[in-house]
Amino acid sequence: MGKQKTPLSRQLADIDLKLLRIFKTVVDCGGFSAAETELNIATSTISNHMSDLEGRLDMRLCNRGRGGFSVTEHGKVVYQATEELLGALEQFRSRVNAAHDTLLGDLHIAFAEQTLLTEGNALVKVIALFGEEAPGVRLHLASLTADDIPQAVASGQTQMGISLCAHPPANLRCDPLFEERMALYCGRAHALFGCEENAANLQHLNQCEFVESPIMRSDQQVNPVIDRWNRQASALQQEARLALLLSGRYVGYLPQQIAALPMWRDQLYQLFAERFSYSNTYQLITRRQSQNNPIVERFRTLLLQSSRAPEAAARG
């Protein structure tokens, strides 16, 4: 019998790490096309990189074609080994950074869409402060829907998140940062625009078409009557809800800081402010194991110290 080939008989090179990171992203995204945006490279280039990696390892890592994308058994082994390898590299970097005063590396932060305008959100201020303290750290920011961020932090896709997190998994830390006030609005062309808060208009409201937000939890229901409203539309993103409200056909919730923008404040009208308004508490979300990462911990400390939420200031 011939001598069995050992695909990794040499030291790992930078190109190997690059290809393994691309492979991990493809698996995390569920396919080449889905990974195109995340990697910011064309699907054809991703395919070439995967072929290169499979050639280097002498293994078929994934199936692609008419049957869809799937990871082979060899691919599952390589994926797990890649997670362990990248985790070990991050741990090595963290330990070396801890031994010196200089912070070097990358910091990935995801924040909920449309929250930069919220009063008390100190993210922009802290980015400037952190840049002065740690110029050797590369920042990577992404804006996601509020519902996606806790899972992105928990899975390691991002290191920090600023979002809602009512029931965090055990591996996450959540620190309150700021409050966002939500209110019920209609557009200028709606029959209730400019209405008085009286019983007749309240009865009219109960008959209106309501834009439901899938992330609005039962513990946020400020009034049980909302459960009986005529839910004729659904919009997860705030901009999508805004479009529906501006049409003049629906009523629905928006953050007050968005409705107060000069371009919209004359086009939207707040309905029954005391009865139907509520607040969201946005939190800084990190993994508990990130306590060993000095980059994450320094940015977290600065953000909590700069936050206007009293509880956050106390914890900082």
Domain 180-278 has CATH 3.40.190.10: yes
> For the residues 79-88, what does the mean pLDDT come to?
92
CATH topology of domain 14-95: Arc Repressor Mutant, subunit A (1.10.10)
161 burial type by CB count under 10 A (0-12 exposed, 13-18 middle, 19+ buried): buried
Phi and psi at residue 27, to the nearest 5°? -65, -45
Q: What is the pLDDT of residue 103?
A: 86
pLDDT in tens, 171-216: 899 999 998 899 999 999 999 999 999 999 989 998 999 998 765 5
Tell me: the pLDDT tens digits for 205-254?
Answer: 989 999 987 655 444 556 667 777 888 898 888 889 999 999 999 999 99
Q: Is the pLDDT higher at 73 or at 98? A: 73
pLDDT tops 50 at residue 312: no
Compute the average pLDDT of residues 274-290.
90
Overall average pLDDT of the 121-148 stretch: 91
Residue spans in the chain of domains classed CATH 3.40.190.10: 100-179+281-315, 180-278
- Cα gap 15→299, rounded to integer Å: 30
Residue ranges, CATH 1.10.10.10, the chain: 14-95
Exposed, middle or buried by CB within 10 Å (0-12, 13-18, 19+), for 6?
exposed
CATH topology of domain 100-179+281-315: D-Maltodextrin-Binding Protein; domain 2 (3.40.190)
Q: Which residues of 204-217 are buried (b: 16+ CB within 10 A; e: fewer)?
A: ebeebebbbbeeee
Predicted confidence at residue 298, as pLDDT, reads 94
The reported pLDDT for the residue numbered 262 is: 93
What is the per-residue pLDDT for 307?
A: 83
Lowest-confidence region among 3-12, 114-123, 214-223, 266-275: 214-223
Distance CA 272, CA 196 (A): 9
